[in-house]
A and B are shown apart, each in its own frame.
Chain A
Amino acid sequence: MKTVRNLAALSGGALVALLPGLALAAGDLGQTQQQATNWHAIVMFVLFVGLTLAITYWAAKHTRTASDFYAAGGGITGFQNGLAIAGDYMSAASFLGISALVYGSGFDGLIYSVGWLVGWPIILFLIAERLRNLGKYTFADVASYRLQQTPVRTFAATGSLVVVIFYLIGQMVGAGQLIKLLFGLDYLYAVIIVGVLMIVYVTFGGMKATTWVQIIKACLLLFGATFIALAVLFKFGFSFEALFAKAVEVHPKHGAIMSPGTLVSNPIEAISLAMALMFGTAGLPHILMRFFTVPDAKAARKSVFFATSFIGYFYILTFIIGFGAIVLVGGHAEYLDATGKALRGGANMAAVHLAHAVGGDLFLGFISAVAFATILAVVSGLTLAGASAISHDLYANVFFRGRSNEQTEVMVSKMASLGLGIIAVILGIIFEKQNVAYMVGLTFAIAASTNFPVLIMSMYWSGLTTRGAVTGGFIGLAAAIILTVLGPTVWVDVLHNPTAIFPMKYPAIFSMPLAFLATWLFSVLDSSESAVREKQAFEAQLLRSETGLGAEGASAH
């Protein structure tokens, strides 16, 4: 199994085996074996689907306007949005993948968790409230605020759609593999079930249904992970030292699991990955979109605080779960395959087997159902973000230049959700046997090199012009894609060439500064009349972004 091989590569001292771990941590679960049908899991999953469909029915009755559809009418509180963001961001693969990484390598798993978290403070300090004050439904609203609508929205919608499609492929393939593994369902059925449910949630319930699916999923996942972690600690009298001592005793690598291993041995790659994770998070369209669901900047800030707390807490839990699995799953014959060395069902099963070890069949079913629910929540958010880029940015503002009717715009958005759902299922089927390990790294590199530079410069730099934003953004997009394709993850691992043309797995350390540089250069060289007007318009934009005066749906001051 590929995941096992990946972990073996990691622990075997590969120079920089970051990507397999990254893939584990966020999307790709590799090829998995189909397991016996898990009825506990299926019953609990059906309950979850029943509940979320009831919510979708309720949400559909209360979704009338474009604002309801894209932004849940701006009626989500900071706390709810924080939970929904956490639900959007904590993927099944990060739960299973990080705990598996801890199970295999101990401390190294913690390095990952940290990388996935530190983008959030940056979003809060530099982006969240300005985004809320300037935008309406998509981050393109902000990027194009004082620039020419047609080119900038076309660019931003392209950036959003590329990120959404790549992310969806990773999620769909991961979903199919995971469901095959946990539920014993065929890959094809699994992918179709995910596709159909996400289309139903998004098309009928819009942002309201998507938000509540994410909130419920976040609560279930946090509850399940807390239960496992407490059960593990209970067995050791709530003494971390006792847990770690036992883990060191039974783990094949013994004391080495308590300190950094081989995960970060090339500092440049490590920093490049760190940049992609940190700034890519701030360029993910489905995450940025969540800031328009709250009534004002105050709630937007609160939602980041709650999201950071929940996500940070969750990553600490996965660390305890990984160590719990070392002690309670590793070395227990019932959880191992025929060789007695690897985990039954693959390395990613560490947390799932641990759920069984501490809670029996019923809790195993619960955790499996939660993993399925988790995928649904993530793909729904992605689909909605992609649909809004098509309907709000391309259809309403590029083709109809803001003169389209709101009802048609919502209709187009629903059609777009349907279309994206179908495309996601088809891509999920096409990529079933493909190595999609590079997909998550690519997604974050693109988000960090395309959406993030243009968004941040549109908010902070008065000198930005349309030409600079569009040229710089597309250069960043091209650089991230080309360097990833020429790098080891695609050129060697997927296309089977002997050596990579570009030596690094993570291009962000080059592509992101390049995007900033190009955006700056093409802006300062732009002396057109429109550029002069755009620079002058910055002051009014700054005033709105700082004070919230004139912000969409803002409470009257």
Chain B
Amino acid sequence: MSKQLSFDKIKSHPKYAELISKRSNLAWSLAALMLVIYYGFILVIAFAPQFLAIPLSAGSVTTIGLPIGVGVILSAIVLTGIYVYRANTEFDELTRDLIEEAK
């Protein structure tokens, strides 16, 4: 089977559209979430730093700023984990099926 034919078949296959839309939905949503978390953190620091100075519990020196800051770091790890998990299972499977069916 020629390469061109298989390309055309893939392009018109419904699973190709499904793959593109599913992946781009997930990728852009997670990217937007990361931007909101990070720029939100920066804006709170810039405009409401006193919020981050609130003690974690009455009498403690640990402020809520610390778990929030560490939380931003952890959110980056968790969001990449979510993407990798879905891409390496669901999307890769979809890609395999698509290529198989378009042969």
Interface set of A (CB-CB < 8 Å, partner B): 107, 110-111, 113-115, 117-118, 120-122, 124-126, 129, 240-241, 244-245, 248, 255, 258-260, 263-267, 270-271, 274, 278, 298, 301-302, 304-305, 308-309, 312, 315-316, 319, 539-540, 542-543, 546-550, 557
Contacts and interface: CB of A to CB of B under 8 A. Distances in A.
A125 B83 CA distance: 7
A311 to B, nearest CB: 9
A117 B76 contact: yes
Contacts of B34: 118, 121-122, 125
B2 to A, nearest CB: 13
A339 B77 CA distance: 43
A258 B65 contact: yes
A114 B92 CA distance: 31
25 contacts: A107-B52, A107-B65, A107-B66, A110-B69, A111-B42, A118-B34, A118-B38, A118-B76, A121-B83, A124-B80, A126-B31, A244-B66, A258-B53, A258-B61, A258-B62, A259-B49, A259-B52, A265-B46, A301-B87, A302-B88, A542-B20, A547-B95, A547-B98, A547-B99, A549-B6
Interface string B38-67: 110111011101101100000011110110
Given A271-B39, A274-B39, A301-B83, A125 B27 contact: yes
Contacts of A126: 27, 31
Nearest to B98: A547
A114 B72 contact: yes
Contacts of A129: 87
B83 to A, nearest CB: 6
Contact of B80 (A274, A304, A542): A304
Interface string B1-18: 001001100110000100
A546 B69 CA distance: 35
Contacts of B87: 129, 298, 301
A26 to B, nearest CB: 17
Nearest to B29: A125
B84 A301 contact: yes
B22 to A, nearest CB: 11
B11 A298 contact: no
Contacts of B62: 240-241, 244, 258
A557 B73 contact: no
Given A124-B84, A260-B49, A301-B87, 16 more contacts: A107-B52, A111-B69, A113-B73, A114-B38, A118-B76, A255-B61, A259-B50, A259-B63, A264-B42, A267-B46, A278-B38, A301-B84, A302-B84, A309-B80, A549-B10, A557-B96
A21 to B, nearest CB: 14
B10 A241 contact: no
A122 B53 contact: no
Nearest to A301: B84
A120 B52 contact: no
A266 B34 CA distance: 22
Contacts of B80: 120-121, 124, 304-305, 308-309
Contacts of A316: 70, 73
Nearest to B86: A301
Contacts of B84: 124, 301-302, 304-305
A263 B45 CA distance: 9
B46 A264 contact: yes
Contact of B42 (A245, A270, A305, A543): A270
Given A126-B27, A264-B42, A271-B42, A549 B66 contact: no
Contacts of A546: 16, 19-20, 23, 95
Given A129-B87, A274-B38, A547-B98, A121 B23 contact: no
Contacts of A124: 80, 83-84
A118 B45 contact: no
Contacts of B35: 122
Contacts of B98: 547
Q: Which 7 A-B pairs have the closest CB atoms?
A: A259-B53, A267-B46, A260-B49, A110-B69, A125-B27, A125-B31, A305-B84
